[in-house]
């Protein structure tokens, strides 16, 4: 699992980021935000005390910019944004230290994906059937 990387505070007067550095920061932050979609990784962070570190909490606040559509479109696991939001709350961060809590969240995600997949197949099948019926009933 990826270890979180903490950025140093950047001020306009002391540091100018090159294009290559900005690209690397973007990729690193994208990877880290996507890791937040994994409840087992969140449990790992909680058990190692990351969620008690003020700098790390501030880093999670900084990462909120990923909710903007121009950044969110790069996420493969959009549920990471929901977890990023929940991580803003101390109570949620505390609960994640409990392995059973992380397992429950993981199980709920699995159930959601299974239900979503089934529903999607049903909807696509119904749409295909509707299109076929429209073709058959169209006068030539």
Q: Judge whether residue 104 has pLDDT over 80.
A: no
CA distances in angstroms from 89 to 11, 79, 83, listed in the order given? 27, 17, 10
pLDDT over 90, % of the chain:
52
| 105-137: pLDDT as tens digits | 777 777 766 776 777 777 778 787 877 777 887
- In order of their start, the domains of the chain are 19-107 (1.10.10.1340)
- pLDDT bucket at 5, cuts 50 / 70 / 90: low
Q: What is the mean pLDDT of residues 4-20?
A: 65
- Buried-exposed string 87-107: b where 16+ CB fall within 10 A, e elsewhere: beeeebbebbbeeebbeebee
**Pick the residue with more confidence: 87 or 8?**
87
């Amino acid at each position: 699992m990826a270890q979180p990387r903490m950025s140093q505070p950047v001020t306009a007067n002391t540091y100018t980021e090159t294009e290559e550095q900005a690209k690397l920061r973007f990729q690193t932050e994208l990877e880290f935000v996507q890791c937040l979609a994994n409840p087992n990784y969140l449990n790992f962070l909680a058990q190692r005390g990351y969620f008690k570190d003020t700098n790390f909490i501030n880093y999670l606040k900084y990462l909120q910019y990923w909710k903007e559509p121009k950044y969110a479109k790069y996420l493969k696991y959009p549920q990471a944004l929901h977890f990023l939001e929940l991580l803003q709350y101390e109570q949620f961060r505390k609960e994640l230290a409990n392995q059973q809590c992380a397992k429950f969240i993981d199980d709920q995600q699995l159930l959601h994906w299974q239900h979503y997949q089934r529903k999607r197949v049903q909807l696509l099948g119904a749409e295909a059937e509707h299109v076929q019926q429209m073709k058959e009933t169209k006068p030539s």
